[in-house]
A = this chain, B = another copy of it.
């Protein structure tokens, strides 16, 4: 079969070298809403964003969290507008490659396009896992599974320090992702805290008993494995640095 060797696995570099523009969005800012065309590719370098949909009842479902290292906007290649909202949760640093600049890149967009499909494939796998999670698991299992996923993804990106990571989300955000009310999410989290499995305070997640959490959630990280997702250590370090700087408000 055809080799994947030609795929550039370092989107940071690829987007930067291809003329991507670093830019910043404020917290809780709707970047796109349904009907908006995608203006290009975005790579998150620091912060957290989400995809969400609203129902007439006013209820919100978050359908994806986008973390540092994640790529979004692949719809630009399909000429299909967004069918959901895309919003920053924390302050968000991205690198933006405008669709207008695609033409001038010529054949050089091929690896970027490939990289975007890869990201879309991983996000599709995560969405299917969320269907399973929300559909079949109890509140305790659901919350444990989400925390395992987020922690694992952040760790894969080099964003965990030991069993802790920055996670600038509110309990309401997390509740909307696992389809629980904030009240019941809190009860569930309290339950897990009392068992000393996790601690989640002021945007810092501490996985105090990852084994127990993964066990109860039947968390199997295989669905997160997409080759080419890992960045090289130097890159990852850069992301960590920027993230910490952003989250703490201090340049370390």
* Interface residues in chain A, defined as those with a beta carbon under 8 Å from any beta carbon in chain B: 1-2, 4, 34, 51, 53, 55-57, 59-61, 63-64, 74-80, 83-84, 99-100, 102-103, 109, 117-118, 120-121, 123-125, 127-132, 134-137, 178-179, 218, 222-223, 225-227
Contacts and interface: CB of A to CB of B under 8 A. Distances in A.
Given A121-B74, A123-B124, A179-B136, A63 B131 contact: yes
Given A63-B128, A83-B222, A83-B223, A179 B134 contact: yes
Contacts of A63: 128, 131-132
A132 B222 contact: no
B109 A2 contact: yes
A100 B227 contact: no
A171 B128 CA distance: 21
Contacts of A121: 74-75, 78, 117, 120, 124
Contacts of A80: 225-227
Contacts of A77: 2, 4
A55 B136 contact: yes
Q: Which among A102, A117, A118, A130 has the highest number of chain B CB atoms within 10 Å?
A: A117
Contacts of A59: 136
Contacts of A53: 128-129, 132
A175 B123 CA distance: 25
Nearest to A99: B1
A4 to B, nearest CB: 6
Contact of A130 (B2, B51, B131): B131
